[in-house]
């Protein structure tokens, strides 16, 4: 039975372009820049002169307010969002001795600016960061281990966070950040194109996906079944990798794992899908490529929940002509990638207790809901309680398939600060395979050889 078109409420107009773009090249470049810059200040990979302050946050009972006026600096690219300003006003009314000072930077420059400030001993107290960058900052000794504060909190419950999000903010078995928002990756498909091809429901398996992609491809008439981007090849490879039963790194994070038999099976399947993809878009990216789906030239499109809001916002005329579904299952079952943002506290902070109170306030369930599904955009909350709440589906039905996918979510970045460099290589090598310059197996072997050299340094 076919899924019904996803209803898009008016209030779901996406803000993802403003709040965050998790496009891979940006993530990779910023994470790489972070690694290199902090390494330059703190020593070689894995070493740093900066050491986390283990006693920060120690104490009994809830953290108390300061007794004199205190300012907490908050670095982000969302400080001008009306909801964030509202949060700051509400927080100040509850904690009159604490004022939040917003320090804003464009999302695409945030990592670079933050790295420079850390190196200059001018870090903010709290920052809203790409969650997958958290381990890198923690490994360099730039962050506060939040375990002491969380143990004293009745609001922040580590076990309630989705496992994938906890992976993002964990390093050395400790949590260095609080997941704040996120999304999963799902399958968008054109109902009209499916009907024309006689396909009655979205594919549930790899075989069905390939069969549908072939049926939906008519190159003579410029119609394609699927859309791929060589410039983002690693990011869109991960769901297939996880579905095949593969992984990025070994369980202990010290060795390459994506060149396993499962990984090569996934890469071969993924790269071969390029023959169902419009060649003119191979060198494009997942945002610019949206127009091919909007025009009906592409029938299936893998993307995060942001894509639903973008379609509704920019292409309202095709409302009712597309729907969303979970990604097809592989040998390992339902798997998908997730991305998100997190709140972190820097160890240069002189007002850590006040900084924690701000982080704890933002993490209250009602505030997480207000920031995600109860406002514009298509962000998901990071906690199991809110994801399972009927309130979410009632407030924003478009998010339901993506909320359900959270159980299948796998963090696409691992807790190894060296991995972003390896991912850059993987992206280049898989991109060559997509263009037909080498096989998928060669792409993984070439990356694994260089990746192991990086890990061994």
Q: Distances in Å between the alpha carbon of 129 and those of 19, 178, 182, 446?
A: 11, 10, 12, 31
Mean pLDDT, the chain, integer:
87
Q: What is the per-residue pLDDT across 13-39, written as a single tens digit (0 to 9) for each?
A: 233 333 444 443 333 333 333 343 443
Q: What is the per-residue pLDDT across 116-127, written as a single tens digit (0 to 9) for each?
A: 999 999 999 999
Average pLDDT, integer, range 316-329: 92
Average pLDDT, integer, range 41-47: 36
- Its pTM stands at 0.75
At 66, is the secondary structure helix, strand, or coil?
coil
Element (H, E) at 74: strand 70-76
- Percentage of the chain lying above the pLDDT 90 cut: 68
Q: What domains appear along the chain, each with residue ranges and CATH number?
A: 70-183+339-410 (3.40.190.10), 184-338+413-456 (3.40.190.10)
Cα–Cα distance for residue pair 180/156, rounded to 1 Å = 11
Q: Are 224 and 299 in contact (CB under 8 A)?
A: yes
Q: Distances in Å between the alpha carbon of 357 and those of 104, 139, 141, 362?
A: 20, 24, 22, 9
Tokens 């968008």 -> residue:
188
Q: Are 295 and 207 in contact (CB under 8 A)?
A: no
Residue 195 has phi, psi (to 5 degrees) of: -65, -40
Average pLDDT, integer, range 244-252: 91
**Total H helices, total E strands in the chain:** 20, 11
Cα–Cα distance for residue pair 231/229, rounded to 1 Å = 5
Bridge partners (DSSP) of residue 437 are none
Residue 145 has phi, psi (to 5 degrees) of: -65, 120
The pLDDT score that the predictor gives to residue 118 is 93
Determine the Cα angle at 109 with ends 230 and 72, to 5°: 140
Give the Cβ contact number of residue 66 at 10 Å: 14
Grade residue 415 by pLDDT with cuts at 50, 70 and 90: low
Q: Indicate whether 9 pLDDT > 50.
A: no
């Amino acid at each position: 039975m076919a899924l019904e078109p996803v209803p898009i409420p008016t209030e779901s107009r996406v803000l993802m372009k403003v709040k965050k773009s998790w496009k891979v090249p940006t993530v990779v470049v910023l994470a790489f820049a972070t690694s290199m810059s902090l390494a330059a200040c703190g020593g070689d990979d894995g070493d740093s002169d900066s050491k986390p302050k283990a006693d920060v946050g120690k104490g009994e009972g809830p953290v108390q307010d300061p007794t004199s006026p205190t300012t907490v600096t908050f670095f982000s690219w969302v400080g001008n969002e009306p909801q964030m300003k509202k949060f700051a006003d509400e927080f100040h009314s509850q904690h009159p001795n604490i004022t939040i000072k917003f320090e804003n930077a464009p999302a695409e420059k945030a990592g670079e600016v933050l790295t420079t400030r850390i190196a200059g001993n001018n870090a903010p107290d709290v920052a809203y960061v790409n969650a997958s960058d958290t381990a890198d900052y923690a490994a360099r000794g730039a962050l506060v281990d939040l375990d002491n504060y969380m143990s004293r909190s009745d609001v922040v419950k580590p076990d309630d966070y989705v496992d994938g999000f906890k992976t993002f903010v964990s390093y050395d078995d400790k949590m260095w950040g609080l997941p704040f928002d996120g999304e999963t990756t799902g399958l968008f498909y054109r109902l009209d194109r499916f009907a024309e091809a006689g396909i009655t429901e979205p594919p549930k398996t790899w075989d069905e996906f390939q069969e549908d992609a072939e049926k939906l491809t008519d190159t003579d008439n410029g119609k394609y079944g699927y859309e791929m981007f060589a410039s983002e090849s690693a990011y869109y490879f991960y769901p297939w990798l996880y579905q095949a039963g593969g992984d990025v790194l070994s369980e202990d994070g010290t060795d390459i794992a994506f060149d396993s038999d499962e990984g090569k099976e996934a890469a071969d399947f993924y790269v071969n899908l390029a023959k169902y993809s419009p060649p003119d878009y191979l060198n494009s990216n997942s945002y610019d490529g949206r127009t091919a789906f909007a025009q009906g030239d592409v029938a299936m499109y893998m993307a995060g929940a942001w894509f639903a809001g973008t379609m509704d916002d920019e292409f309202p005329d095709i409302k009712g002509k597309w729907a969303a579904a979970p990604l097809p299952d592989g040998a390992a079952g339902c798997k998908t990638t997730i991305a998100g943002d997190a709140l972190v506290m820097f160890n240069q902070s002189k007002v850590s207790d006040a900084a924690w109170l701000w982080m704890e306030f933002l993490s209250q369930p009602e505030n997480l809901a207000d920031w995600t599904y109860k406002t514009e955009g298509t962000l998901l909350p990071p906690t199991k309680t809110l994801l399972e709440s009927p309130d979410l589906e009632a407030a924003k039905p478009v998010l339901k398939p993506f909320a359900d996918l959270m159980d299948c979510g796998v963090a696409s970045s691992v807790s190894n600060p060296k991995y972003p460099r390896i991912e850059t290589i993987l992206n280049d090598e898989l991109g060559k395979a997509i263009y037909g310059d080498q096989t998928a197996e060669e792409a993984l072997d070439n990356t694994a050889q260089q990746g192991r050299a990086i890990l061994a340094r």
